[in-house]
């Protein structure tokens, strides 16, 4: 390839090339500065499009939903009704049918022969005696045949008569499903959400819980054996002592790091989320490792803030690119006000297969079932899956939030004395925090805490 204006470059940026082509492309990009620049620009645009895809939440109307959900039930009813009407057929019935049809055909042929021989004789006489009317004599001959055709078509009205019935049944299934066993109709999830939302808006205002941090540090897991990890989001509705009118807001509380026994919920209300994003950069304490920061932004006004609602935020790593991984921690930041967003942040560290490269690679997927993006403009972003793309970025060029939270995660590793922590020490944690601008506020408090811990450790 000798031009940067090539579809393969875009496909490469979007992770759509197969391994062989991707490797060739990687080599070519490494040798071609223009291609590298082009790749970065495509990456920028695609990252933006992926993370800020506009959406609107739609659902079927309740009668449509019920029609769909009642589909098999209605089919079963129709089949059962049809079976009741039809007497049971014995094994000999098909044979009898064939024999009777053959007999009927033989009778018709014989009758046709008799009729032909009976009416064929006078025909020449008519032809000779009345040559002109011959043409007119044909209609009488064809008239009976037309009548015969009509007679043959007699079953047609029967079919036509049956057709509206069939259509009526179909229409009933589709447009008037509520007439079909309404008691047995499962209530659609969207309706449940709507009810929750309706009742939620009548609730008093809220007082939001304090931020929650949780360290999940654990041993590395071989991605080829278990490539999946998840945290559970539980939107919680909290209220002030003195209730005031206002919308219900949601905070998030953390839960277990692994998905050992996550109950499957079939009627979970939808969790509204503003956005989600997965960032990947090198690991400050071990350059051969990579860090993943997963952020979900959740609106404060949350219809799903109902007791017992749980949402599994799962990440699954691609064993082709990830040899092993571990969960480092999660952080839940409640909304500061009803109209402000809450955040849930999860951190993972992984060891890549082979050398990290500048090429964009989809190293895993994040899923959050029953989540819906909040509105924005025209169409929904697929809330069911988020690609985790590793573009080979280094931690030194990462954003402040990434650096500061990696300092927190590193500090957690230090406190827990975790293995596989490379060159991690207090100085590195402090350096990360200071790089992230820990001059004042909460970040400065954290930096002071690290210094105190460093002194206490005699370092």
Binding site for other proteins (CB under 8 A): 5-11, 14, 16, 37-38, 40-42, 44-46, 48-50, 52-61, 64-65, 67-69, 71-72, 75-76, 79, 83, 174, 189-190, 266, 369-370, 372, 377-382, 384-387
Is the CB of residue 248 less than 8 Å from the CB of residue 238? Answer: no
Smallest gap, in angstroms, from Cβ of residue 41 to other proteins? 4
Residue (55 or 216) nearer to other proteins, CB: 55
CA–CA dist 11, 27 (Å, integer) = 15
Residue (5 or 125) nearer to other proteins, CB: 5
Smallest gap, in angstroms, from Cβ of residue 439 to other proteins? 24
Is the CB of residue 376 less than 8 Å from the CB of residue 360? Answer: no
Smallest gap, in angstroms, from Cβ of residue 384 to other proteins? 5
Residue (175 or 244) nearer to other proteins, CB: 175
Residues forming beta bridges with residue 327, ordered by sequence position = 348
- Of the candidates 51, 25, 41, 1, the residue with the CA atom closest to the CA atom of residue 382: 51
| Long-range contacts (CB closer than 8 Å, 24 or more residues apart) made by 66-70 | 66/177, 66/178, 66/185, 66/188, 67/173, 67/174, 67/175, 67/177, 69/185, 69/186, 69/188, 70/173, 70/177, 70/180, 70/181, 70/185
Strand ranges for 305-433 from DSSP E: 311-317, 322-333, 342-352, 361-367, 371-373, 386-390
Residue (299 or 412) nearer to other proteins, CB: 299
Smallest gap, in angstroms, from Cβ of residue 68 to other proteins? 4
Smallest gap, in angstroms, from Cβ of residue 394 to other proteins? 19
Residue (230 or 237) nearer to other proteins, CB: 230
Smallest gap, in angstroms, from Cβ of residue 364 to other proteins? 13
Residue 245: strand, helix, or coil = strand
Residue 311, class by beta-carbon neighbours within 10 Å (0-12 exposed, 13-18 middle, 19+ buried)? buried
HSE-CB at 325 with a 13 A cutoff on CA atoms is: 30
Strand ranges for 176-227 from DSSP E: 212-215, 221-222
Is the CB of residue 321 less than 8 Å from the CB of residue 363? Answer: yes
Residue (311 or 347) nearer to other proteins, CB: 311
Residue (327 or 366) nearer to other proteins, CB: 366
Smallest gap, in angstroms, from Cβ of residue 49 to other proteins? 4
């Amino acid at each position: 390839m000798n031009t940067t204006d090539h579809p393969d470059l875009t496909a490469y940026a979007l992770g759509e090339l197969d391994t062989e082509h991707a490797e060739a492309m990687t080599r070519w990009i490494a040798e071609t500065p223009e291609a590298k620049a082009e790749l970065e620009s495509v990456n920028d645009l695609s990252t933006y499009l992926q993370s800020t895809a506009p959406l609107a939440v739609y659902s079927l109307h309740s009668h449509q939903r019920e029609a769909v959900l009642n589909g098999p039930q209605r089919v079963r009813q129709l089949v059962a009704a049809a079976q009741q009407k039809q007497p049971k057929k014995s094994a000999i019935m098909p044979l009898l049918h064939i024999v009777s049809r053959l007999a009927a055909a033989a009778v018709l042929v014989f009758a046709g022969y008799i009729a032909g021989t009976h009416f064929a004789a006078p025909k020449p006489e008519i032809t000779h005696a009345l040559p002109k009317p011959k043409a007119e004599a044909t209609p009488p001959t064809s008239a009976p045949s037309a009548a015969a055709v009509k007679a043959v078509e007699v079953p047609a009205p029967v079919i036509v008569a049956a057709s509206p019935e069939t259509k009526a049944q179909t229409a009933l299934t589709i447009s008037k499903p509520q007439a079909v066993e309404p008691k047995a109709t499962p209530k659609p999830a969207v309706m449940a959400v709507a009810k929750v939302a309706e009742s939620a808006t009548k609730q008093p205002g809220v007082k939001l819980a304090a931020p929650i941090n949780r360290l999940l540090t654990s041993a590395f897991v071989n991605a080829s054996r278990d490539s999946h990890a998840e945290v559970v989001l539980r939107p919680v509705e909290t209220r002030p002592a003195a209730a005031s009118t206002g919308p219900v807001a949601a905070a998030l509380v953390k839960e277990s790091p692994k998905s050992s026994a996550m109950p499957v919920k079939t009627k979970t209300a939808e969790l509204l989320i503003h956005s989600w994003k997965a960032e990947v950069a090198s690991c400050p304490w071990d350059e051969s490792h990579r860090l993943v920061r997963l952020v979900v932004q959740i609106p404060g006004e949350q219809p799903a803030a109902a007791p017992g609602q749980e949402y599994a935020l799962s990440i699954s790593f691609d064993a082709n690119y990830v040899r092993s991984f571990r969960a480092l921690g999660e952080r839940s930041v409640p909304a500061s006000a009803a109209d402000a967003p809450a955040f849930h942040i999860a951190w993972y560290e992984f060891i890549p297969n082979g050398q990290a490269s500048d090429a964009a690679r989809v190293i895993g997927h994040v899923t959050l079932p029953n989540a819906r993006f909040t509105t924005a403009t025209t169409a929904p972003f697929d809330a069911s899956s988020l690609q985790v793309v590793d573009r080979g970025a280094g931690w030194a060029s990462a954003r402040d939030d990434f650096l500061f939270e990696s300092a927190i995660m590193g500090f957690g590793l230090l406190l827990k004395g975790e293995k596989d922590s490379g060159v991690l020490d207090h100085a590195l944690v402090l350096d990360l925090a200071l790089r992230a601008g820990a001059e004042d506020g909460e970040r400065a408090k954290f930096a002071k805490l690290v210094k105190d811990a460093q002194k206490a450790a005699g370092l």
